[in-house]
């Protein structure tokens, strides 16, 4: 009988089981069967990982490593990731149900994120200040913020790890990486590359576990200086409350309900492709899913027809097969939650044009679904679906489109499809979102920052400025006078 793989925690440069022996099992979403097990961290493991991270900051092996040398470690890690992208992609696909074509290519691409921050490692600079006092030389320097806790979800874990780990390491921090207890296999395997790259012990630890034994003691730990969290708003509220215990600097990249506005002058093929990519790419399991399609009324039917035509050739099936376009959802609970939301939407007058049902096969498969909504209050326009559900709502004027787009508690992504350049600039400037794609969707780059407005969080990841979020500014005053410091009780 084939033995199921088992994944351990990586703490302080060593592989280990959890201190209390807790083990969880992971299901293959394409089959519904257990395929692996993994160790879960207990509070003792959390303390060991954070203590090792704190100790590494004072270890000459890391403390005295030049910024250029830190960059070389990241370059090495990027090479290892690319060499192992296929293997990591297979693990991620088996564990989460995402398409192998996406997981392998996305994993390979995140190597560019590590290279980007590797190149920035020795370009973290201070400044000499033109101070208003004589005989004073004053300058600033940027120092590592300290121990970083990086918490990533299962749906884009290699990418979301790179946007945190890359700048943190470049800045000279130490990191405890907490993988989701849902589908953590690729992150625990990724720790092997950390080890192979040659990071000093304690600089990076990789753990996972449940909220009570892992996440809560980790985010409350008194030795944590910074928390970088990606996940849902409800969990984020707990993270923020926990950070009150240690005053850790916190950034949040949360959920979304992103609008895609299609004007009547848009290229319909491009707009249909954008809506399909924004809703059915990654089976809709994306925080930037463009799940609120706002369509100029005169082209609604023509656009729906085009979407329906394009979807006829879409293959749903085994995510490990290259011919598959859409795979299963990660968990059975997602399928159940989406069905309940669709049922409420139909009660509100929404019309399901296609899909809306689970597939008659093993695994967590839901047919791609298109919903024509009767009003802005339709449930599928309000709730983050995290599945392959496209909701369309017509509008009549540009002002109405902007108002509908901004009528959301979220504000992560947005899209605009129009051939009118002036309109593109005008509308994008008024959309309350951290990202706006024009005549495209879901494009990312290590050079471009991303993050949200409103309940989509605060702070930015990627881009040159993100590295400063992992540093503290120190101001140094140097008295250059040959005379001793003056008597402090004599005012001049």
Residues that are catalytic: 253
Residues ≥6 apart with Cβ < 8 Å to 380: 291, 341, 342, 345, 350, 371, 373, 389, 391
In 358-470, DSSP assigns E strands to: 369-372, 389-395, 415-417, 437-438, 457-458
Alpha carbon 208 to chain centroid, angstroms: 17
Q: How many helices (H) and strands (E) does the chain have?
A: 15, 21
Burial group, residue 24, by CB count within 10 angstroms (0-12, 13-18, 19+): middle
Q: Kindly provide the b/e burial profile for residues 171-185, where b requires at least 16 CB atoms within 10 angstroms of the residue's own CB.
A: bbbbbbbbbbbbbbb
Whether residue 355 contacts residue 368, with contact meaning beta carbons closer than 8 Å, is answered with yes
Q: How many C-beta atoms lie closer than 10 Å to residue 138's C-beta?
A: 15
Whether residue 254 contacts residue 224, with contact meaning beta carbons closer than 8 Å, is answered with no
Give the three-class secondary structure for 321. coil
State the SS3 of 73-113.
Answer: HHHHHHHHHHHCHHHHHHHHHHHHCCCHHHHHHHHHHHHHH
CA–CA separation, 381 vs 364, rounded Å? 23
Q: How many C-beta atoms lie closer than 10 Å to residue 43's C-beta?
A: 17
Q: 38 - beta bridge partners?
A: 7, 24
Alpha carbon 332 to chain centroid, angstroms: 22
CA–CA separation, 252 vs 410, rounded Å? 13
CA–CA separation, 204 vs 174, rounded Å? 6
Give the three-class secondary structure for 423. helix
Residues ≥6 apart with Cβ < 8 Å to 421: none
Whether residue 172 contacts residue 70, with contact meaning beta carbons closer than 8 Å, is answered with yes
């Amino acid at each position: 009988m084939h033995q199921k793989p088992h994944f351990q925690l990586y703490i302080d440069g060593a592989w280990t089981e959890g201190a209390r022996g807790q083990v969880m099992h992971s299901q293959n979403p394409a089959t519904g069967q257990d395929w692996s097990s993994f160790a879960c961290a207990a509070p003792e493991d959390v303390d060991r990982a954070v203590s090792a991270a704190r100790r590494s900051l004072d270890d000459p092996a890391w403390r005295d490593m030049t910024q250029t040398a830190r960059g070389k470690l990241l370059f090495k890690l990027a090479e290892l990731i690319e060499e192992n992208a296929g293997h990591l992609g297979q693990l991620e696909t088996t564990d989460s149900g995402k398409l192998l074509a996406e997981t392998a290519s996305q994993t390979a691409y995140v190597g560019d994120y590590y290279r980007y921050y590797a190149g920035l490692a020795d370009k973290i600079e201070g400044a000499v200040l033109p101070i208003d006092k004589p005989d004073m030389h004053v300058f600033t320097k940027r120092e590592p913020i300290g121990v970083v806790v990086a918490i990533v979800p299962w749906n884009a874990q290699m990418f979301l790890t790179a946007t945190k780990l890359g700048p943190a390491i470049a800045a000279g921090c130490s990191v405890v990486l907490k993988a989701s207890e849902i589908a953590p296999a690729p992150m625990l395997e990724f720790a092997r590359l950390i080890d192979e790259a040659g990071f000093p012990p304690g600089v990076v630890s990789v753990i996972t576990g449940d909220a009570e034994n892992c996440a809560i003691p980790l985010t409350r730990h008194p030795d944590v200086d910074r928390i970088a969290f990606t996940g849902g708003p409800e969990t984020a509220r707990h993270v923020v409350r926990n950070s009150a215990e240690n005053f850790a600097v916190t950034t949040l990249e949360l959920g979304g309900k992103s609008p895609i506005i299609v004007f009547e002058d848009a290229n319909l093929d491009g707009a249909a492709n954008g809506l399909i990519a924004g809703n059915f790419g990654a089976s809709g399991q994306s925080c930037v899913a463009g799940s609120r399609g706002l369509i100029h009324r005169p082209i609604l039917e023509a656009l729906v027809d085009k979407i329906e035509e394009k979807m006829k050739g879409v293959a749903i099936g085994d995510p490990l097969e290259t011919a598959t376009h859409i795979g299963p959802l990660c968990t059975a609970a997602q399928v159940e939650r989406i069905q309940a939301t669709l049922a409420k939407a139909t009660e509100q007058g929404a019309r399901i044009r296609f899909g809306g049902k689970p597939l008659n096969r093993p695994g967590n498969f839901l047919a791609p679904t298109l919903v024509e909504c009767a009003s802005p209050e339709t449930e599928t326009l309000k709730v983050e679906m995290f599945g392959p559900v496209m909701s369309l709502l017509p509008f009549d004027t540009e002002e109405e489109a902007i108002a509908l787009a901004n009528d959301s508690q979220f504000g992560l992504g947005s899209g605009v499809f129009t051939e009118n350049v002036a309109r593109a600039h005008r509308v994008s400037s008024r959309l309350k979102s951290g990202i706006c794609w024009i005549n495209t969707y879901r494009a990312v780059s290590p050079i471009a920052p991303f993050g949200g407005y409103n309940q989509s969080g605060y702070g930015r990841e990627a881009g040159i400025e993100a590295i400063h979020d992992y540093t503290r500014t120190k101001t140094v005053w140097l008295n250059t006078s040959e005379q001793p410091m003056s008597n402090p009780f004599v005012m001049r």
